[in-house]
């Protein structure tokens, strides 16, 4: 009797402020990850569970190339917290204090910020309607949606509402409705933010393809940029998320994001 060899997929579990990831390192390996595998591992009851799934591959133009998947199996061009987690992994792996990471959004420089914090330059925000993208020419500072949200792209689309009390928003009801709004042909991440102090925002987030998350790096960047465009904050902003605080700095060379990361455990997915 021939025993069928089981499929084994080593992975790392990481998180940034509770925004959690399953990471597969395919550097030097043949491609193995498929959308079906992603959705199976995403199940928090029968799988591992995550907000985003990340695949690391080799590239000649950076230290690593990252491909991001949402928990529904769809892909995303950017994931800030996951990029920070991988940057910290590279620092630990190489002993270096800087790295360059390639994503669909471009080349992203990363630095060890000290005290266990990691900084990543997420690139320049895009605010032109066709680059976000929106379905039609629209003023991205105030969209023709109830509440007048602001649209931004950090490599993935974002829709930010500024409200009196972010805690009072029914995110589970409103989030999916805005995610699938016809103005966003590629769907959108959704944020609700409240100004709580000078250069300080309280934000809650609904992620495209994932749902409510404790934190989101790209959403934090987009919210800081949107608030800056509206004159609510300066260029150095603290975003207070369900999972903790993250600092966003809007600089001439891009939007820098600084915060903590955690490598939780290593595992193996077996089928």
Same domain, 167 and 66: no
Would the pLDDT of 4 be above 80? no
Q: Are 221 and 256 in contact (CB under 8 A)?
A: no
Residue 2 has pLDDT above 60, yes or no: no
CA-based nearest residue to 239, from 206, 201, 187: 201
Angle subtended at Cα 186 by Cα 205 and Cα 22, rounded to the nearest 5 degrees: 55
218-252 tens-digit pLDDT: 999 999 999 999 999 999 999 999 999 999 999 99
pLDDT of residue 3: 59
Same domain, 225 and 171: yes
- Domain at 232, CATH number: 3.10.310.10
pLDDT value, residue 201: 98
Looking at the structure, tell me whether residues 148 and 173 fall in a common domain.
yes
What does the pLDDT average to over 146-157?
96
Rounded mean pLDDT of 127-152? 98
- What is the model's pLDDT at position 1? 57
Q: What pTM was computed for the model?
A: 0.93
14 occurs within a structural domain: yes
Angle at 104 between CA 250 and CA 152, to 5 degrees: 40
Give pLDDT tens digits for 67-119: 999 999 999 888 999 999 999 999 999 999 999 999 988 999 999 999 999 99
Phi-psi sector, 166: left (phi>0), alpha (psi -120 to 50), beta: alpha
The number of folded domains in the chain is 2
Determine, yes or no, domain membership for 257: no
Indicate whether 172 and 113 sit together in one domain: no
- Please give the average per-residue pLDDT across 44-62, as a whole number: 96
Helix 217-229 vs helix 80-94: angle between axes, to the nearest 10 degrees? 120
Task: Please check whether residues 74 and 136 belong to one and the same domain.
Answer: no
Q: Distance between CA atoms of 163 and 124, rounded to whole angstroms?
A: 25
Residue 2 falls within a domain, yes or no? no
Same domain, 109 and 133: no
Indicate if 136 and 63 belong to the same structural domain: no
Residues 64 and 16 in one domain: yes
Whether residues 157 and 102 share a domain: the answer is no
- Does the pLDDT of residue 187 top 90, yes or no? yes
For residue 1, being part of any structural domain is answered with no
pLDDT at 174 over 90: yes
Query: Is 84 contained in some domain?
Result: yes
> Across the chain, how many H-helices and E-strands are there?
4, 17
In a shared domain, residues 81 and 145? no
* One domain, residues 174 and 136: yes
Residue with tokens 């799988």: 47
> Domain range spanning residue 43?
8-122+262-270
Establish if 61 belongs to a structural domain.
Answer: yes
118 Cβ contact partners less than 8 Å away, ≥ 6 residues apart: 84, 85, 87, 88, 91, 110, 111, 112, 258, 259, 260, 261
Burial class (CB in 10 A: 0-12, 13-18, 19+), 150: buried
Tokens linked to 43: 């199940």
Four-point Cα dihedral 22, 154, 124, 159, nearest 10: -150
Are 73 and 182 members of one domain? no
Coil, strand or helix at 111: strand
């Amino acid at each position: 009797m021939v025993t069928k060899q089981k499929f084994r997929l080593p992975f790392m579990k990481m998180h940034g402020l509770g925004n959690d990831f399953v990471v597969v390192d395919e550097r030097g390996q043949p491609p193995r990850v498929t959308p079906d595998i992603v959705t199976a591992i995403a199940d928090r009851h029968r799988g591992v569970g995550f907000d985003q799934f990340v695949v690391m591959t080799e590239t000649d133009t950076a230290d690593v190339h990252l491909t991001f998947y949402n928990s529904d199996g769809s892909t995303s061009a950017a994931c800030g917290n996951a990029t920070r987690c991988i940057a910290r992994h590279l620092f630990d792996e190489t002993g270096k204090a800087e790295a360059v990471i390639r994503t669909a959004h471009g080349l992203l420089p990363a630095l060890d910020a000290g005290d266990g914090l990691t900084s990543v330059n997420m690139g320049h925000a895009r605010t032109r309607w066709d680059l976000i993208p929106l379905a039609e020419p629209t003023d991205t500072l105030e969209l023709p949606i109830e509440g007048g949200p602001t649209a931004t792209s950090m490599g993935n689309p974002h829709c930010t509402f500024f409200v009196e009390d972010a805690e009072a928003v029914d995110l589970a009801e409103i989030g999916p409705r805005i995610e699938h709004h016809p103005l966003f042909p590629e769907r959108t991440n959704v944020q609700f933010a409240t100004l709580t102090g000078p250069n300080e925002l309280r934000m809650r987030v609904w992620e495209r393809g994932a749902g409510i998350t404790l934190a989101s790096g790209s959403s934090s960047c987009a919210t800081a940029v949107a608030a800056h465009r509206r004159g609510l904050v300066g260029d150095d902003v603290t975003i207070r998320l369900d999972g903790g605080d993250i600092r966003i700095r809007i600089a001439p060379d891009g939007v820098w994001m600084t915060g903590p990361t955690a490598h939780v455990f290593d595992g193996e997915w077996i089928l």
